[in-house]
Amino acid sequence: MLVEQYGPLKGQMLQIMDETGFIVQPDLVPDLSDEEWLELYKTMLRTRTADMKALQLQRQGRMLTYAPNTGQEAAQVGSAAAMEKNDWHVPAFRELGAWLHRGVPLETVYLYWYGNEYGSKFPEGVKNLPIAVPIGSQLAHGVGLAMASNIKGERDVTVAYIGDGGTSIGDFSEALNFAGVFEAPIVFIIQNNQYAISVARHKQTKAETLVQKAVAAGIPGILVDGNDLMAMYAATKDAIDRARQGGGPTLIEAYTYRLGAHTTSDDPTKYREDSEVEKWKPKDPIKRMKAYLISRGVWSEEQDEAFQEEYGEYALEVFRKVEAEGEPKVEDLFKYTYKEMPAHIREQYEEYLEYLEGKVE
């Protein structure tokens, strides 16, 4: 088990591939073929391309506030790839790579950020919870799913995500505590991108690492290079296998960096230096994985550029379809907030319908 070597108090970070795409720990490379790694890399490229397209569209006033993912593709895709189809994915709001890998259509993602309620409706068989904007609330939901899996005797494992800032919220500690006590089959992944909106990680907590918070909950934890696709896959697969075998929860800290803004409403230049961002750019997960695949002879710069251009055109086509559906409908707020509309909401809904009919002002 990797957690035995890279435990929360070991002071070591799991890395299999360095910043140049060189394999530094050959014995730990997961057993995937070059073709399988290439497919995961393509998902990372789709994530980056769709992300950049969303930013452009938002700046044009065609999309609502958007949370960028650039720089965190490996943390998302690597962890999602370790999951099986029957497992539950519980996101926060910055898991685009995981959504795409798990089968959430790009159209659905764009619908959400467009303000359409159908952005939270996934295809049949896609076991993803909707985006959770309230910080930390999704972790309790994830633990509930995992506990239900145990009670029902299912093999499902839940993988739940949170940002570094969310680890300072009470919901985080409560979820870890519950998961530990009930040995819930869940893997918690902290996407430590170094900033909770405008607050630097070192100002949030005196803890040397975020993964050491697993110690108080009595559960295993592991610190991982979040920009290393292979390391993220290996650590998550290890934790999922352990959970599926009845070993309980694991906390993973994916040490990464948010290259862009917290959201499109944020100006990161007000709280961090451009020089800091420049230091992280060589660690870009896209660059290192591309270098590895090129060295293996299964990819090229030309293919890379062509793929991004093609997917960029596809992403724009998808968004045009979203726009063509028109502005989000007010009545959807009433219809899709609850499974069954409560009496007080139904009363408001009926009053709204009367307003549309001109019966009330």
Identify the active-site residue in 46, 94, 101, 262: 262
Structure tokens at 291: 């270098």
Residue 11 confidence (pLDDT): 87
Confidence of residue 62 (pLDDT cuts 50, 70, 90): very high
Using one digit for the tens of pLDDT, what is the confidence trace for 165-218? 999 999 999 999 999 999 999 999 999 999 999 999 999 999 999 999 999 999
Residue 251 has pLDDT above 90, yes or no: yes
- Nearest-10 Cα torsion for 121, 69, 78, 290: 130
Using one digit for the tens of pLDDT, what is the confidence trace for 72-120? 999 999 999 999 999 999 999 999 999 999 999 999 999 999 999 999 9
Question: Alpha-carbon distance 282 to 12, whole Å?
Answer: 21
What is the value of pTM for the model shown? 0.95
Residue 166 confidence (pLDDT): 97
Structure tokens at 318: 């998808």
Whether residue 271 lies in the annotated active site: yes
Whether residue 344 lies in the annotated active site: no
Using one digit for the tens of pLDDT, what is the confidence trace for 302-360? 999 999 999 999 999 999 999 998 888 888 888 888 889 999 999 999 999 988 887 76
Confidence of residue 361 (pLDDT cuts 50, 70, 90): low
Residue 129 confidence (pLDDT): 95
Residue 360 confidence (pLDDT): 65
Question: Alpha-carbon distance 12 to 166, whole Å?
Answer: 23
Percentage of residues of the chain with pLDDT beyond 90 = 91
Identify the active-site residue in 59, 155, 271, 320: 271
Using one digit for the tens of pLDDT, what is the confidence trace for 263-304? 999 999 999 999 999 999 999 999 999 999 999 999 999 999
Identify the active-site residue in 66, 258, 288, 292: 258
Residues 6+ apart with CB under 8 A from 253: 190, 192, 209, 210, 211, 221, 222, 223, 224, 226
Using one digit for the tens of pLDDT, what is the confidence trace for 115-174? 999 999 999 999 999 999 999 999 999 999 999 999 999 999 999 999 999 999 999 999
Average pLDDT over residues 240-253: 97
Question: Alpha-carbon distance 40 to 97, whole Å?
Answer: 10
Residue 227 region by backbone torsions, left for phi larger than 0, else alpha for psi between -120 and 50, else beta: alpha
Whether residue 141 lies in the annotated active site: no
Structure tokens at 150: 């145990």
